[in-house]
Homo-oligomer: A and B are copies of this chain.
Amino acid sequence: MEIDFQKGGGLLPAIIQDERTGDVLMLGFMNPESLAETQRTGEVVFFSRSRNKLWKKGESSGHVLRVREMRVDCDADALLVPVGPGVCHEGYRSCFFRKLEPDGNVATIAERTFAPDQVYGSEKSR
């Protein structure tokens, strides 16, 4: 099966899921090189669209995402990656800690599980 990078202009969305709880933690993108690095190291490496380069999640915080397995969907244009527990740079266990209300507002629906500035320092860059 050939992975379809073309449909997304060279990038594939990769869903990161907590393998214990089933929680969806975050979504990043992978190009062929970051997918190869992820498979080689067993730790998630994305391609950062904003920085336009490979981005190993956890390289500054130490909270790397350890790959349990990698799944590809029916038309081979999306990845699902169960990992050990990971955390959002804003201090939540999942990046999806906000609920989008019908009126367009957002509500925070989770508790912070750690203090981001103690993990990431002052810049909080990811």
Chain A residues proximal to chain B, CB less than 8 Å? 1, 3, 7-9, 13, 15, 17, 21-24, 26-27, 39, 49-50, 69-74, 78-80, 88-90, 92, 95-102, 105-106, 109, 118-119, 121
Are A74 and B100 also in contact (CB < 8 A) when A13-B13, A24-B15, A27-B13 are? Answer: no
Question: For the complex, would chain A's binding face be called helix, strand, loop or mixed by DSSP majority?
Answer: loop
Are A99 and B71 also in contact (CB < 8 A) when A15-B15, A22-B22 are? Answer: yes
Q: Which residue of B lies closest to A97 (CB)?
A: B74
Identical copies in the complex: 2
Determine the chain B residues whose CB is within 8 A of the CB of A17 once the complex forms.
24
Bound Cα distance from A18 to B90, whole angstroms: 25
Determine the chain B residues whose CB is within 8 A of the CB of A109 once the complex forms.
71
Contact in complex: A102, B27 (CB < 8 Å): no
Contact of A118 among B95, B102, B118 (CB under 8 A): B102
A-B contact pairs, 11 of them (CB 8 A): A7-B49, A24-B24, A26-B78, A39-B102, A71-B100, A72-B96, A72-B98, A73-B96, A74-B89, A74-B97, A79-B100
Determine the chain B residues whose CB is within 8 A of the CB of A49 once the complex forms.
7-8
Are A69 and B118 also in contact (CB < 8 A) when A7-B50, A13-B13, A21-B22 are? Answer: no
